[in-house]
Amino acid sequence: MANPLYDGLFGIHAGKTTPFLHLPDGQTVTHRDFLATSARIANVTAQIGLVPGDRVAAQIEKSPEALALYAACAQAGLIFLPLNTAYTTDELSYFIENSGAALIVCDGKNQGSLGKLAGDLGTKIESLNADGSGSLMDKAKDMPDSFDTVARRADDLAAFLYTSGTTGRSKGAMLTQDNLLSNARTLVTEWRFTADDVLLHALPIFHTHGLFVATNIALAAGSSMIFLPKFDLDQVIDRLPDATSMMGVPTFYTRLLGDERFTKDLAQHMRLFVSGSAPLLAETHLQFEARTGHRILERYGMTETNMNTSNPYDGERRAGTVGFPLPGVELKVTNPDTGETLPNGEVGQIEVRGPNVFKGYWQMPEKTAAELREDGFFITGDLGKIDVDGYVHIVGRNKDLIISGGYNIYPKEIELVLDEQPGVLESAVIGVPHPDFGETVLGVIVPENGATPDTEAMLDAVSASLARFKHPRKLVVLDELPRNTMGKVQKNVLRDQYQGMFSS
């Protein structure tokens, strides 16, 4: 029996001496050397007693060795659990205990604090630092550079990703070999990746975007990557001439647009810019095209599903939309109360079905049953609509829906009006408690540099554009919106901050 994920992403490059990773110091790592490193790590996991199906929790900085740990888990039949490097020990304890991880791999500076947790749980622990040092690689250097790949089925688990948990305990999304491999192969085709591509990779690798989209695509296509530890504006501008493609979150593109060195000449050789993980403002789309001649390709995915939709590679990349369902992915918009499919143009909850959709939530059968229908459709929790041309629009999260005086209010509709006002960089609209209406609308404004937005004029503009029940009760001006590590606005933080604003 084969191992679909390892064979389809990693094993196909065995023996290749062409560069896979271009590092900031000018060094390169070939496919062959990368696979030799991953095989040594796989041998370490076997030596310390891990068996196929065991979970490996990794909270480590981005490095070639960190990526090789992912490959080693695939080869050894282990379930890879990447964890945000910003998590505290208290937060990590939940993920590690809930997943039943057999091995923790952490930065050396955290080994002391996590060592007690590992001891209490009977979990093994190894260190791996950003420079490739640590106990894991100390053990790996004496290991053979080959490993007998463990047989796996397409529906065997390959990874856990924990959701952000803004409305309760994080849920461990169980992703199979086929979930990851099928999505990578689809995106290679849809986005026209080949072995000639050089992907500028400045994303973290503890998240779907950086690991299961960017990295898996590069592997499936045989592309190489300029592998930067993080998004550093100077490094990105310096290395952009060597790249053919780039994937990023919206803040990557706004920061590039804010630098006069980012010119049309600098970007003219590029083949593709992709944005995801958070909504891209239509204004950013237009500014980017005006500056570079490129239209950013925006897509839509989730922890539980990888990528669901994409604007077309050939054809109109429509600002404010996430394009069309990917081949093999079914998408429908349904009534949240009845589950009935709604006609195009109507807002409802988005449901998706396809080989990309996860197997369920780890040890949460009730949550799985509530969100993953028996017919295979996953209730995403996103609200959206499909326009007359078939483009999918994301209106917001179901939990962000505002119900004021019995009326449903979609924040995105108000945000679009506010974003168009003079002096506004971006906005966020939330519902906060109100003694008469249950909830009322609060608008949060971030001004452009040096601008002092006229909030009264903004309220007048909203009044002219939208029905009265959608009008913000008040506008608040902030220097910036709270965001998570992938650039997504944390509306739950804003709701907590302003929940008492209208209390009687």
CATH of the domain at 8: 3.40.50.12780
Rounded Cα distance between 198 and 217, Å, is: 11
Number of compact structural domains in the chain = 3
235 vs 220: CA distance, rounded Å: 26
Q: Over range 282-307, report the average pLDDT.
A: 94
Which pairs count as long-range contacts for 263-266, CB under 8 Å and 24+ apart, including other chains? 263/291, 263/292, 264/291, 264/292, 264/293, 266/237, 266/240, 266/241
191, 201 contact by CB (below 8 A)? no
- In a domain? residue 159: no
Which pairing describes strands 360-361 and 172-176: parallel, antiparallel, or unpaired?
Answer: antiparallel
Task: Check pLDDT > 80 for residue 437.
Answer: no
Say yes or no: 119 and 40 in one domain: yes
Predicted local confidence at residue 301, as pLDDT:
94
pLDDT exceeds 60 at position 504: no
Q: If you search the block for the tokens 């990590």, which residue do you land on?
A: 92
Does residue 406 surpass a pLDDT of 80? no
Output the pLDDT for position 166.
45
> What average pLDDT does this structure show over 451-464?
90
Please report the pLDDT score of residue 464 as a whole number: 85
The first and second tokens of residue 382, run together, are: 């996103």
Answer whether residue 323 is part of any domain: no
- pLDDT, residue 128, reads 98
Q: List pLDDT tens digits, range 199-245.
A: 999 999 999 999 999 999 999 999 999 999 999 999 999 999 999 99
Residue pair 292/264 in contact (Cβ under 8 Å)? The answer is yes
Q: Measuring CA to CA, which residue among 39, 17, 38, 37 is closest to residue 28?
A: 17
What is the pLDDT, as a whole number, of residue 164?
A: 64
pLDDT digits (tens, 9 = 90+) for 138-164: 999 999 999 999 999 999 999 999 986
Element (H, E) at 476: strand 474-477
> Does residue 318 belong to any structural domain of this protein?
no
Mean per-residue pLDDT, 308-332:
96
Highest mean pLDDT among 108-112, 265-269, 283-287, 449-453: 265-269
The domain that holds 285 is classified in CATH as 3.40.50.980
Instruction: Report the share of the chain in percent with pLDDT over 70.
Output: 98
Regarding whether 145 and 13 lie in a shared domain, the answer is: yes
166 domain-assigned: no
Tell me, yes or no, whether 372 lies in a domain: no
Same structural domain for residues 411 and 478?
Answer: yes
In terms of pLDDT, which residue wins out, 251 or 81? 81
Does 254 or 323 have the greater pLDDT score? 323
Q: Residue 280: what residue type? A: L
The pLDDT mean for the chain works out to 93
pTM of the predicted model as reported, rounded to 2 decimal places = 0.86
Do the Cβ atoms of 60 and 29 come closer than 8 Å? Answer: no
pLDDT at 322: 96
Q: Write down the pLDDT at residue 1.
A: 67
Question: What domain range includes position 476?
Answer: 401-498
Is the same domain home to 122 and 16? Answer: yes
Q: Would you say residue 167 has pLDDT above 50?
A: no
